Structure 1
Amino acid sequence: MANTILHNESIPSQRKKIIVLGSGPNRIGQGIEFDYCCVHGLLAIKECGYEAIMVNCNPETVSTDFDMADKLYFEPVNWEHLWEIIELEQPYGVIVQLGGQTALKLAKRLHEKGIRIIGSSFDSMDIAEDRGRFSDLLKELEIPYPKYGTAYTTDDAIEVAKEVGYPVLVRPSYVLGGQRMRIVINETELESAVLSLIKHLPGNKILIDHFLDRCQEAEIDAIYDGENFHVMGVMEHIEPAGIHSGDSHAVLPEFNLTPMIVATMEEYAKKIAKALKIQGLINIQFAIKDGKVFVIEANPRASRTTPFIAKAYQIPYLNVATKVMMGVNKLTDFTFEKKLTGYAIKEPVFSFSKFPNVNKELGPEMKSTGEAIRFIKNLRDPYFRQLYKDRSMYLSK
């Protein structure tokens, strides 16, 4: 048998390189929205004089077009393939904020290997992603959040639920699209939910939050450069809290929140970004109940709504955020003129017709497979009025 000769077609240049990690195959929880983020990130990197290298494996995306990056590695977005690329290219750093949860999960391995993560540090990301550490941070900052506890066994979970009070939201850390999140109302349902988590995500810390029933949900996308804080947009959800943000209709800008509530949300968002030492993008989810603002979670990366806001306001926010991550620019180097007249509504797209046996009831686990944008001139628009009427149906259940 003849010896196999391996030939490497990739010849690394002598230029300073930055690798952008994509989100891999489209799936519920992350999809084409992050391709938009990666494309604008690549353009920003090239504008700053770096060699832009894209790592992604989805042929349906613009980021994998042959002329988008200076060099494309059409490879699975996992550690084995990424490490081989890093060993060959010896990049200045890697950007994980633009490729959703798939890219973000590789931050730990990059940190352990001493590879520079462009933008927010691994520890900043870990605090935000680890539900327990994040809740401890909120406590330290005196920011309201739902009562919570952590568990690894069903017995621990039962004790925690008794302490925080039913109904409770059961969820693991570091998950995509609310995977295996459940709202439970009694001990029997809790035991079933925890056993399912232990079976499918062994060793994963389980967080048990008191569920704030029948309250409003909203979110903020923002950029922080270490000194300056800019709110890209405040989005108010139509559906009440308890339905995953990816499955909710969201209105930009907010339409029914008082100026005091919006100011409080922005204040909390800035305090969190500063405490986490964010360099780049952050998305924060809020619940509003009886006029009080609670923080549900923070995502230290581009969110699904970042491209939505950029398109609605016609501002190149991903270009700005990438340059902030790289330390090339501060937010004060840019001007932000929002060009939206009226409102923009994020409209989730579902594929239930393709999957007839899937449970169509919406909850904390995401089920939408995409999203659309709809512009309305004012709140008297028939489409919006019907959405708000449907919201009353959710609240009456």
Structure 2
Amino acid sequence: MTSITKTPISHNESIRSNKKKIIVLGSGPNRIGQGIEFDYCCVHGLLAVKECGYEAIMVNCNPETVSTDFDIADKLYFEPVFWEHIWEIIEHEQPYGVIVQLGGQTALKLAKKLHERGVNIIGTSFDNMDIAEDRGRFSDLLKELEIPYPDYGTAYTTDDAIEVANRVGYPVLVRPSYVIGGQRMRIVINDAELESGVLSLLKHLPGNKILIDHFLDRCQEAEIDAIFDGENFHIMGVMEHIEPAGIHSGDSNAVLPAFNLSPLVITTMEFYAEKLARALNIKGLINIQFAIKDGKVYVIEANPRASRTTPFIAKAYQIPYLNVATRVMLGENKLTDFTFEKKLTGFAIKEPVFSFEKFPGVNKELGPEMKSTGEAIRFIKDLRDPYFRKLFKERSMNLSK
């Protein structure tokens, strides 16, 4: 038997330049909860980084995406978006900073480790991201700002969860923090279902803080995507969901602009959105989701990053919002440096794309845990469009159940 002697690798093919560098973290492989829409965000972010004179470095491991094309970034690391790989790249490249707002939840979840190692996070600080992502801290902030939200409590055990649920009242929404696509979120109606749901959460996400929200049944849902530069606030779009609250936003048809919300409701949403952006000291992108019941606006959650609807709005209005947001994150521009002329005639509908035919054993019933694998855009001239009327009729039937 011939023995093989391994020679230590002494050569590194990645030559570090002297330019000021920005690393953009991608979202990894396409999956339920986040997919190609975040690749759009990364591509336009990379182009903006290059335009601002930095060396743009992309870290992603998905061959299906444009962000991993050889001519998009100045340098591509085709590596898993895991901490061990990213830290080695950071140690080698010594970047000026890292952008986590463009790669969905996968990139955002790495902000804590970057912060702990003293890496410069471009845009919103880690602590302010954490307030938005930690369900308990976020609800405390809403209380402080006097913004309506569903009654809630936090729990680490099943006994705690049952006590909270009985206090806020069933039905309740059970959800963990820092998860992708509403992973393991459940709507439950009694103690037995709650105990089962919490045990499942603790098994798959040990140590995660569990938030128990009173579920606002039979209400409308809407969301806002916006940019804040520390002084100026700009709303990219106000979208109204066709499906009622309780269906994950990624699985809902969203209409841009809103079609059935009163001017008072829209103004209230915009007021709460700006109030939150200022309180969180957002620098860059934020997505805020709302529930509207009996004319009252409640804030459900806020995402301090690009959402899956950011590319949808940018395409519908034909405005390079990701380029603008990246320049704001980098501190190269203020929102007052841009003009925003929205070029949408009629309405745009964000349609979820499902792949149930490839997974025949999957439960097709929609709920708070996302099941779609992508999205498409449908443009309609007016609300008399047959497609829209069909969707709206289905929504009315769901709300009446």
Q: TM-score, normalised by structure 2?
A: 0.98
In structure 2, C-alpha distance between the alignment counterparts of 1:142 and 1:173, rounded to whole Å: 22
Give the Å deviation of 1:119: 0.2
> Where in structure 2 are the equivalents of 1:68-217 lying within 5 Å?
68-217=72-221
Q: Which residue of 2 aligns with 1:5?
A: 8
3-state DSSP of counterpart to 1:197? helix
3-state DSSP of counterpart to 1:344? strand
Aligned CA RMSD, in angstroms, stands at: 0.6
In structure 2, C-alpha distance between the alignment counterparts of 1:73 and 1:4, rounded to whole Å: 24
Match of 2:292 among 288, 293, 296: 288
**What is the aligned-residue identity percentage?**
86
The aligned amino acid for 1:83 is: W
CA deviation vs aligned residue, 1:12-35 (integer Å, no higher than 9, x gap): 000000000000000001000000
3-state DSSP of counterpart to 2:182? coil
Q: TM-score, normalised by structure 1?
A: 0.99
3-state DSSP of counterpart to 1:62? coil
CA deviation vs aligned residue, 1:313-348 (integer Å, no higher than 9, x gap): 000000000000000000000000000000000000
Q: Which residue of 2 aligns with 1:390?
A: 394
Match of 1:17 among 17, 21, 34: 21
Q: Which residue of 2 aligns with 1:361?
A: 365
In structure 2, C-alpha distance between the alignment counterparts of 1:297 and 1:158, rounded to whole Å: 23
Give the Å deviation of 1:395: 1.6
CA deviation vs aligned residue, 1:287-333 (integer Å, no higher than 9, x gap): 00000000000000000000000000000000000000000000000
3-state DSSP of counterpart to 1:179? coil
Q: Which residue of 2 aligns with 1:45?
A: 49
Q: Which runs of 4+ in 1 moved over 2 A?
A: none
In structure 2, C-alpha distance between the alignment counterparts of 1:110 and 1:333, rounded to whole Å: 31
Unaligned 5+ runs, structure 1:
none
3-state DSSP of counterpart to 1:13? coil
> Where in structure 2 are the equivalents of 1:24-63 lying within 5 Å?
24-63=28-67
The aligned amino acid for 1:4 is: T
The alignment of Structure 1 onto Structure 2 pairs a total of residues equal to 397
Give the Å deviation of 1:3: 4.3
In structure 2, C-alpha distance between the alignment counterparts of 1:350 and 1:246, rounded to whole Å: 10
3-state DSSP of counterpart to 1:103? helix
Q: Which residue of 1 aligns with 2:343?
A: 339
In structure 2, C-alpha distance between the alignment counterparts of 1:115 and 1:165, rounded to whole Å: 43
CA deviation vs aligned residue, 1:214-240 (integer Å, no higher than 9, x gap): 000000000000000000000000000
Determine if the alignment matches structure 1 residue 221 to structure 2 residue 222.
no
Give the Å deviation of 1:4: 1.3
In structure 2, C-alpha distance between the alignment counterparts of 1:313 and 1:82, rounded to whole Å: 35
Determine if the alignment matches structure 1 residue 271 to structure 2 residue 275.
yes
Give the Å deviation of 1:5: 3.0
